[in-house]
Structure 1
Amino acid sequence: MRPLHQRLQLYTDGSDTYIFVPSEGQGQSLTVHRSSGEIVLNKPNTSIPTSARRYSKTIYGIIGTISLSLSEYLIVSTGRELRGRLMGHEIYRAADFDILPLNPNVNVQNPPHPVEAHYLALVKSHLSGGNFLFSYTWDLSRRLQAQHHFREKDAQKAMWETADDRFFWNRFLQTRFIETAIRSTSSDFGAFILPIVYGTFDIRPAFLHGRHMQLGLISRRSRFRAGTRYFRRGVDHDGHVANFNETEQILLVEAQTSPGSMRASEDSFVAKFSFVQIRGSIPVFWGEVNTIRYKPDLQIMDSPETTDAMRRHLQEQVGIYGEQSLVNLVNQRGYEKPIKDAYERYVAEINIPNVRYQYFDFHNECKHMRWDRISILVEKLKEDLQRQGYFHVNATDPTPAKLQRGSVRTNCMDNLDRTNVVQATIAKWTLNEQLQELGILPPSGTIDDYEAFSKDFREMWADHADAIASAYGGSGALKSDFTRTNKRTRKGLLEDGVKSTVRYLKNNYFDGPRQDGFDLMTGVYVPRKSPSLSLFLITDTRPLLTRSMPLVAWFSLFMICAGFTLPRTADYSRIYFFLVWLVVLALSLIFIVKNGIDYVSWPRLLPPTEIIHYMGPGYRSGYHGMGFKGAAGPGRHHPGKSNSKWLGNKKVKVANRVEEMEMGSVSSKKRRD
């Protein structure tokens, strides 16, 4: 695989061109023409125009281009952090970004139109809030087994050609560069295309029984159906599920040495192991409708297309990973039961070979903080884990000693907290098997017998859990005290309460713009070129009464507090004063709760109107917060019509439909590529 340019110097020639010159002194320079957006690989030894001025920052990679309403923009990385070295390859996190307009009349710091300013704010927020990883010499998007299998075929390819399309996060942003590279006759063009991965990376040294080792953990988040906790659930028609993550645990072992001896070079390992697990939302059409209550309304759409969508999803996983063990951790009673029943019904209906379903009632089995009982699930999966195996290759033999022929697909409702605990437990069981195979651990040994090694393992998995939970749910993972300490604690319960509160606030009042950022950056939504058609993005179309109620509630509370400072001239007058404002406060709060759906921060680019106003067969847990006239009562199968008509504004829906159609053609073209 051909490496990428690690540093670029940027020159701007007035308002005509951006010129990228490799700092290494080797390779051709690249010119981006601002007027047309054309990208040209210059001939060798092309000199920089004397009128060009050097950009003040070093460029560590070109992320890609994005077209907004008034201009196309070039996104570049101007800061990076070294996160570690994997087999001699440096892994970085993109730490800072600059956005360069192609239109010379547009200023990024002071956009000429409020709609353009809104779009730019979404781009900046997404870039600053994500954990974007990359390497110039290692394909971070693919697991070790896949890279080893295609190593000869990929030797002369550019990194963008070998990257896993699911985890090539900036694939949409790189569309123009990739199309130019395909047309180009020069192989040097690929050195400018930097794939980034949205995920986590951690690698730590370890020493056990005379063996130096490195233990690594990589998670890769899929760019398909990406988003936030309540605004991306379930499966789409292409078989992509929300919050899909591939997690790879890597163990690298050096030759036998004595304590205190010097280590070998970073890439001289006698044995390399890889173990992959996956997680993803339950692959049926479902969602949760926020109504500012702690538990949203659970909506399951019983669509005839569900069977095909789930089949596509599971067949894709079997085709990529092999045999699938589906571990379902949702509750079998109460709020979560309908989604469990729907999952089981469709899995039984499609009956795909090499797919085995395993249910585990996590909360019931582990109640009263008996978290050691997760071992019951591992025991049930033991035969599957032994049959699926893990990847193992030795330095003396290029032929792998073992291949991983399947994976465990774990899910709970969010694929976060319960899923994290179970995946860490399965990973520890597999790590014990690998160390026992090498003779580092005795046949009945476990890493829990070695506190330093065990602590690194637990912290690695806990940090990984927090990162995935923050990206999807808005806070660190719950139950992470068990992952970090091997036991559930009351302090952990208190911390979980704080995290749950943070999640509630973010999911209800802040996740709308975050979801818009995901949709914009992954190409699900393509802005129209006329900002006047997108004014709905920056205006509040709710009725005046709806908008005023929070202010009325706050003012009533202020007046009640102020009442305690009034002089005691007449007790009955104070009673009337408090009574009036308490009534006003109560009425305003009742209105807010009854119309809670109007106070949620919904995505504006692609609002989930089809879920909120779904009228077909299926299940709905309730119709809370949908207005005084729209409540149809809990447990009914057909929802009443919501009063929240601003969510289904015709102009908004028509604009979104046009843009979805435009994006559909782009997505189809990407899939053909």
Structure 2
Amino acid sequence: MKPIYTRLSLFVNRESYTFVPVEPLGAQSLTLDRTTGDIVLNATHTSVPNTSTRYGKTVYGILGLIQLALSEYVVIMTGREQRGRLMGHDVYRAVEFDILPLNPNVSIQNPPHPIEGHLLALVKSHLNGGHFLFSYSWDLSRRLQVQWEQKDAEETKALWEVADDRFFWNKFLQSRLIESEIAQELSAYILPIIYGTFDLRLADVRGRRVQLCLISRRSRFRAGTRYFRRGIDHEGHVANFNETEQLLLVEGSGQVSNDNFSDKLSFVQIRGSVPVFWGEINTMRYKPDLQVMDLETTVEAMRLHFKDQISNYGEQSLVNLVNQKGHEKPVKDAYERALAQIEMPEVAYQYFDFHNECKHMRWDRISVLIEKMEGDLANKGFFHLSSNQPEPSRRQLGVVRTNCMDNLDRTNVVQAALAKWTLTLQLRRLGIITESEGVDDFEGFSRDFREIWSDHADSISKAYAGSGALKVDFTRTNKRTRKGLLEDGYKSIQRYIKNNYFDGTRQDAFDLVTGAWLPRTTFTTASSIVGDHRSLIIRSVPYILGFALFMITAGMTLPRTSDYSLFYYFTLWFSVAIIALSFMVINGIQYVAWPRLLPPTELIYYDGPGFRSAHHGKGFASAKKVPMADSFATGGRKRGLTVSRIELELGDKKRQD
């Protein structure tokens, strides 16, 4: 595998950025021309321009370049923390980033245009809020089995060439380097990162030293937040798709090194949104409106999705945890209808009524699902590579794909249970534990297992829903507790607030950094990105409500002349508060912080075949008459209408016909 530079010195002047490897000395430096944008790989031992000054921080990697409205920017990593050492390879988390403009007339601190400032803020928030992992010498984007199968063909390739395209999170940022004519020569500068989790624990089981490692990889396709990315797209990509790999590394007898292991075992699971066209529409109510779209392309999109999964993993065992009653039932029904039409023998379906089976905190009932799937799990197996054999003794022939509505809380519980069952089987096959023993019989090892799966669940949940996972107390302690129930209530409130009032900006950041929205090629009104085009009455009602609440509070604390006068005072302000709050609930869609770059207008105004639970939050008019494009659809499309478009070009607004 071609090496990647681990530390770079950066030299800056008005004409160029020059990156010089700290080691080896004299290696080819990289220059980015700030005038033309050209990428130049200099000859060895090339001197730095005399006019350049050294940047104040060490650069640990170039994440790539991104074009915004007024300038192109280079994104660099200036801080990292080591997360562990896996099979002799250091694994890091990127923790600090700098964004540098190529245009010398653009300032990061004081952007020359509000649109540029807003887009820069989106990039910064995404970098600072994500969980990005990388290794200079190990491909974190691919599971162990794939790396072993392709090792002979990849000895002379670079990390970016072999990285899994789904999990190469900064692939869009790196596209300028990858698509250049000298991409091969630039390989030492192209650092792939993943968005996911990594945890590694060292333990002792029956005198054998083992490492337990958990890695999750989040797909960059259809990436986003809980309510703004659901279901499937026409290319077969689903929202919140994550691959989770559990590694068990076992030292041989007499070994003292933590880098070489006699046995390496891998078990992979996946999760992803229900692969039909559906979504939930925020209306300020706790439970959003459910929209299932019965499109002609649903079956074909699902077929594309499972073809891709089969080509990557083999046979698919689908575990569906969506409720068969109430709010979630239409999603389950749509899933099963489409699944019955794809006619793919490699796909097997298993439904588990999680809430009914595990009600009254009987979470031990997960064992019912495990018992149903034991034969399937055993057949699909796991990957096992032994140091005393030239070929793997086992390969994983298929994968379990688990989903609930969010692919978070119930999915986490089930995936952890499947992982524990497989881990027990692996330890038995290695002869480390007996057939009558399990992971829970070894307290220290069991605690490590529970902790890494609980932390993993929290991290995936924060990335998608904005809070830690629910039901995680069961994974962490092996039982459901009342304290965990209270914590879940607090997390649910967190999710409600973030999903309604903050996730629109987070979704915009995902769309910008992954390349789903392109500033140079996407036309939009400048005011739609940073302005508020809601009517005056819509904007004023929250202030009226706030003032009414202030007056009520004041009436409770200020001196009063008589109780009689106080009655009319409170009647007035309570009436104002109730009217204002009712108005906001009736027009709830107007008060949700929707994404501005790619707003979900078509989902909200869909009127074709399918299912719609309600039309809340759309005012007193019918759903077809609400002027959403004027209120929140900011640069998107209203059904049947085209929004006027203005191109951003060097800070000027150039009107398009």
Task: State whether TM-score is above 0.5.
Answer: yes
Alignment check: 8 A CA contact 1:122 1:513 kept: yes
Distance (whole Å) between structure 1 residues aligned to residue 483 and residue 148 of structure 2: 44
1:20-59 equivalences under 5 Å are 20-26=19-25, 27-59=27-59
2:163 aligned with 1:194, yes or no? no
Return closer, same or farther for 1:652/1:313 CA change in 2, 3 Å cut-off. closer
Residue deviations 1:416-465 (CA, integer Å, cap 9, x gap): 00000000000000000000001001012101001100000000000000
Distance (whole Å) between structure 2 residues aligned to residue 655 and residue 69 of structure 1: 20
Alignment check: 8 A CA contact 1:3 1:137 kept: yes
* Gapped regions of structure 1 (runs ≥ 5): 258-262, 631-638, 660-673
- The corresponding residue for 2:223 is 226
Residue deviations 1:389-408 (CA, integer Å, cap 9, x gap): 00001112231100000000
Residue deviations 1:362-415 (CA, integer Å, cap 9, x gap): 000000111011011011111111110000011122311000000000000000
- The corresponding residue for 2:370 is 378
Alignment check: 8 A CA contact 1:605 1:656 kept: no
Alignment check: 8 A CA contact 1:68 1:116 kept: yes
Aligned-partner residue type, residue 454 of structure 1: S
Choose from 240, 247, 251 the match for 1:243. Answer: 240
2:641 aligned with 1:642, yes or no? no
Distance (whole Å) between structure 2 residues aligned to residue 365 and residue 339 of structure 1: 19
Alignment check: 8 A CA contact 2:79 2:94 kept: yes
- The corresponding residue for 1:19 is 18
- The corresponding residue for 1:147 is 147
2:192 aligned with 1:208, yes or no? no
Aligned-partner residue type, residue 103 of structure 1: N
Alignment check: 8 A CA contact 1:294 1:504 kept: yes
Alignment check: 8 A CA contact 1:3 1:191 kept: yes
SS of the residue 2:390 aligns to: strand
- The corresponding residue for 2:621 is 629
Distance (whole Å) between structure 1 residues aligned to residue 115 and residue 121 of structure 2: 10
Give the C-alpha shift of residue 323 in structure 1. 0.5
Distance (whole Å) between structure 2 residues aligned to residue 4 and residue 656 of structure 1: 46
Return closer, same or farther for 1:658/1:488 CA change in 2, 3 Å cut-off. farther
Distance (whole Å) between structure 2 residues aligned to residue 247 and residue 454 of structure 1: 19
2:79 aligned with 1:95, yes or no? no
- The corresponding residue for 2:74 is 74
Give the C-alpha shift of residue 28 in structure 1. 1.0
Choose from 515, 518, 535 the match for 2:527. Answer: 535
Give the C-alpha shift of residue 571 in structure 1. 3.5
Give the C-alpha shift of residue 652 in structure 1. 4.6
Distance (whole Å) between structure 2 residues aligned to residue 573 and residue 65 of structure 1: 66
SS of the residue 1:234 aligns to: coil
Distance (whole Å) between structure 1 residues aligned to residue 529 and residue 374 of structure 2: 52
Distance (whole Å) between structure 2 residues aligned to residue 216 and residue 147 of structure 1: 16
Return closer, same or farther for 1:649/1:393 CA change in 2, 3 Å cut-off. closer
Give the C-alpha shift of residue 641 in structure 1. 3.7
Return closer, same or farther for 1:424/1:50 CA change in 2, 3 Å cut-off. same
Residue deviations 1:1-41 (CA, integer Å, cap 9, x gap): 112100011111x2111111110134311111111111111
Give the C-alpha shift of residue 589 in structure 1. 0.8
2:176 aligned with 1:176, yes or no? yes
- The corresponding residue for 1:420 is 412
Distance (whole Å) between structure 2 residues aligned to residue 421 and residue 96 of structure 1: 32
Distance (whole Å) between structure 1 residues aligned to residue 395 and residue 643 of structure 2: 49
Return closer, same or farther for 1:153/1:559 CA change in 2, 3 Å cut-off. same
SS of the residue 2:153 aligns to: coil
Count of aligned positions: 642
Distance (whole Å) between structure 2 residues aligned to residue 656 and residue 416 of structure 1: 39
Residue deviations 1:43-62 (CA, integer Å, cap 9, x gap): 12212222221111100000
Choose from 451, 457, 460 the match for 1:459. Answer: 451
Distance (whole Å) between structure 2 residues aligned to residue 478 and residue 571 of structure 1: 47
Aligned-partner residue type, residue 389 of structure 1: G
- The corresponding residue for 1:84 is 84
Distance (whole Å) between structure 1 residues aligned to residue 310 and residue 184 of structure 2: 34
Distance (whole Å) between structure 1 residues aligned to residue 407 and residue 222 of structure 2: 14
Distance (whole Å) between structure 1 residues aligned to residue 594 and residue 408 of structure 2: 22
SS of the residue 1:425 aligns to: helix
Aligned-partner residue type, residue 158 of structure 2: A
Residue deviations 1:626-646 (CA, integer Å, cap 9, x gap): 11123xxxxxxxx54435442
2:587 aligned with 1:595, yes or no? yes
Distance (whole Å) between structure 2 residues aligned to residue 651 and residue 448 of structure 1: 54
Alignment check: 8 A CA contact 1:629 1:643 kept: no
Aligned-partner residue type, residue 358 of structure 2: C
1:354-369 equivalences under 5 Å are 354-369=346-361
- TM-score, length-scaled by structure 1: 0.93
Choose from 305, 315, 318 the match for 2:307. Answer: 315
Distance (whole Å) between structure 2 residues aligned to residue 56 and residue 6 of structure 1: 17
2:343 aligned with 1:346, yes or no? no
Give the C-alpha shift of residue 187 in structure 1. 4.2
- TM-score, length-scaled by structure 2: 0.95
2:261 aligned with 1:269, yes or no? yes
* Gapped regions of structure 2 (runs ≥ 5): 648-657
Distance (whole Å) between structure 2 residues aligned to residue 8 and residue 32 of structure 1: 14
SS of the residue 1:15 aligns to: coil
Alignment check: 8 A CA contact 1:210 1:256 kept: no
Distance (whole Å) between structure 2 residues aligned to residue 432 and residue 57 of structure 1: 47
Distance (whole Å) between structure 2 residues aligned to residue 577 and residue 427 of structure 1: 62
- The corresponding residue for 1:167 is 167
Distance (whole Å) between structure 2 residues aligned to residue 37 and residue 512 of structure 1: 32
Identity of aligned residues (%): 62
Return closer, same or farther for 1:530/1:293 CA change in 2, 3 Å cut-off. closer
Distance (whole Å) between structure 1 residues aligned to residue 536 and residue 206 of structure 2: 71
Give the C-alpha shift of residue 531 in structure 1. 9.8
Choose from 463, 474, 487 the match for 1:495. Answer: 487
2:507 aligned with 1:510, yes or no? no
SS of the residue 1:166 aligns to: coil
SS of the residue 2:606 aligns to: coil
SS of the residue 1:292 aligns to: coil
Return closer, same or farther for 1:613/1:351 CA change in 2, 3 Å cut-off. same
2:431 aligned with 1:447, yes or no? no
Give the C-alpha shift of residue 189 in structure 1. 1.5
Return closer, same or farther for 1:474/1:369 CA change in 2, 3 Å cut-off. same
Return closer, same or farther for 1:529/1:319 CA change in 2, 3 Å cut-off. closer
Return closer, same or farther for 1:584/1:74 CA change in 2, 3 Å cut-off. same
Alignment check: 8 A CA contact 1:69 1:531 kept: no
Give the C-alpha shift of residue 266 in structure 1. 2.5
- The corresponding residue for 2:113 is 113
- The corresponding residue for 1:605 is 597
Residue deviations 1:453-478 (CA, integer Å, cap 9, x gap): 00000000000000000000000000
2:395 aligned with 1:408, yes or no? no
